[in-house]
Chains A and B, each alone.
Chain A
Amino acid sequence: MFNNLIKSLNFLSHNIYHINRSIPTVLFHTNSASFVNKQDKSLEEDDFDLQRKESAKIKNLERLGSIKSHISWPQYNRIIYPPTEDGKPIRNPFVHHMRHFVKYPAKKMWYPALMIRGMSIDEAIKQLSFHRLKGAHIIKEVLLEAQDLALKQHNFEFKSNMWISYSTAVDSFRVKGVRKHRAMRLGMVEYKYCTYYVRLEEGAPPPNYHLEAETYEARAKEYIEKLRKRSIYLSI
């Protein structure tokens, strides 16, 4: 009991630091999940300790850059664009959404994510519901959540007037285990987690998303525009 109190106080200090920052919209599951299993093992480490250690590992990896940070993606939802004189918005309205720590390898998750790019939402949900992989159903849940968000918070008008402009799956971290082979040979097993990122935009999907440019002239134009868009980091 007393040990748990001390651990919880240490956990508190982590928690407060997390709150005083600029407020992220996505909460780490680890911060809210401090469970104690009633059944067994008061002497060994609790789930509480494990969660804390894992979250510390994840934070360190994010600082180093080997995992993409989970906070920056939904912060794009907080940008406020000023009103224009014409009435047309500067930028096509969009919504960012993600789900992190999905227990599914990113290599497999990437295929349905690729399939979806450039589709309208209705068609994407239709196609995903009949897909063979488990990751497709997870993506479907994420899309429905994003649709609700867009309607309630970001002033999108119609439920089916959206299309998907960005969707990828990226691997986040792995837990290692061991398996036994024939004789005294052992092998390593990895349990993989991934994150899934989505951007929804308002309007009908563009007609040629995959075949953006077929002629040589159009491709040359794109190349030149890419070069001109570049900027030096931290320059004036």
Chain B
Amino acid sequence: MLSIINKRNIFLHQKLVKSLFEQTVTRTLATHWDPKFRRLRKNKFTEPTLLDFDSNTKEKVKRGIEPPTSFIYKPINITSSKEIFDPYIPPEGDGKASLFSKEFAKGAVEKITKSTSKKFKHLRLIKKSDSNFDENLFAETAQQIYIDAHSILSKRDPEEMLNFVTENALMKMYHNMKFKTIRWKWIESLEEPVVKHLVTREMMVKTDLYAQVTVRIHSKQILAVYDRFGRLAFGSDTLPKDVLEYVVFEKHLSDPYGSWRLHDKIIPSWSPAKTPVIRSFALPEPYKTDDELEKRIVSKFKGDDSHLEKIQEEKS
């Protein structure tokens, strides 16, 4: 069973401030014809043990009552990481202009990421677990995994999807799609898929190894998203679109049952804007980030490629 539990909608009863008119109206109802014996009349009644269903935890904490303790232990997943190790920076104008044009030569040189010089060492580590790892072959299998993952989305079965998709990507794909119907079609690929970047990293211990590969996929697709009631919300059922994406695939190398799965997508800032949603809506409030929380979060993966130095020593 999946370990991801959706947050339940807890409706906080926000007590509205009453106007003066409302206050006076309710006060005039609760009058007795002889209010001077009100306190003696009160003593005739037993105090009932009524339960607080209406108040929030915040108000109770102010009064001095402890908040409830939750004994739900969240499970830990080792099969996937939650980050992209060394993000590949794609060059500008990649899908628009050809290699030999002016626009490309002006400012769009491919920026060198940190660990491109150590590509062959990363490859050697991957080949220890997969002896038959070929870059060109892998690009085609990766494209097939991409097609399978997106075509299974419409079935709303997370356990099937975990064969093609890591837990990190499942959260992002499955979250907003639960109460909608999606129709996705792959028409053709406009260019051959190309492997652009290879990284391996350790997690806390020598023997834990994770590998990530970015693949460039240029294709034609059809996407139509329908509402809970069957109304078109996004896209169209007939018009195809060109899509350029840099997709990250991940594998847990030290796991004997591990396999290459879709992990994440890199969306560059210069990509064209999305088509708008069909229905109009009010913009939500801007999302506030906790700076203190983000400082405390430390990834378990080392930021270096220091585990590669040992390979040369073994060889020599």
Which residues on A are within 8 Å of B, measured CB to CB? 8-9, 12, 15, 19, 23-27, 29-30, 32-39, 47, 50-51, 54, 78-84, 87, 89-91, 93, 99, 101-103, 129-130, 132, 134, 137, 140-141, 145, 149, 151-155, 157, 159, 175, 177-181, 189, 191
Contact = CB atoms under 8 A, between A and B. Distances in A.
Contacts of A175: 48-50
B26 interface: yes
13 contacts: A33-B51, A35-B68, A47-B51, A50-B51, A80-B228, A83-B231, A87-B232, A103-B54, A141-B16, A145-B11, A149-B9, A155-B228, A180-B45
Contacts of B284: 152
Q: Across chains A and B, which 9 residue pairs bring their CB atoms closest together, nearest first?
A: A83-B230, A89-B229, A101-B53, A83-B226, A180-B44, A177-B48, A34-B68, A29-B53, A93-B229
Contact of A191 (B8, B50, B52, B65): B50
Contacts of B25: 132
A94 B29 CA distance: 36
Given A137-B18, A179-B45, A154 B66 contact: no
Interface string B266-282: 00000000000001111
Contacts of B181: 80, 82-83
B46 A178 contact: yes
B162 interface: no
B206 interface: no
A140 B16 contact: yes
Contacts of A36: 65-66
Interface residues of B, number: 52
A197 B282 CA distance: 27
A154 B179 CA distance: 9
B232 A83 contact: yes
Most buried by A among B10, B15, B45, B230: B230
Contacts of B232: 83, 87
Interface of B is mostly: loop
Nearest to A38: B64
A80 B51 contact: no
A29 B15 CA distance: 17
B288 interface: no
Given A32-B10, A80-B228, A140-B16, 18 more contacts: A8-B71, A12-B71, A25-B9, A26-B11, A33-B68, A36-B65, A80-B181, A81-B229, A87-B231, A89-B231, A93-B229, A132-B25, A153-B179, A155-B229, A175-B49, A179-B44, A189-B48, A191-B48
Contacts of B65: 35-38
B227 interface: yes
A2 B25 CA distance: 50
A32 B68 contact: yes
Contacts of B68: 32-35
Interface string B158-188: 0000000000000000000001110000000
B170 to A, nearest CB: 17
A157 B281 contact: yes
Nearest to A154: B228
Contacts of A137: 16, 18, 22
Contact of B230 (A30, A89, A159): A89
B289 interface: no
A12 B53 CA distance: 20
Given A36-B65, A101-B53, A90 B22 contact: no
Contacts of A141: 13-16
B60 interface: yes
B209 interface: no
A157 B179 contact: no
Nearest to A39: B64
Interface in B223-253: 226-233
Contact of B13 (A12, A32, A99): A99
B5 interface: yes
Listed residue (B6, B44, B53, B231) with the most chain A CB atoms within 10 angstroms of its CB: B53
Nearest to B44: A180
A25 B11 CA distance: 10
Interface string B1-34: 0000110111101111011011001100100000
A167 B281 CA distance: 27
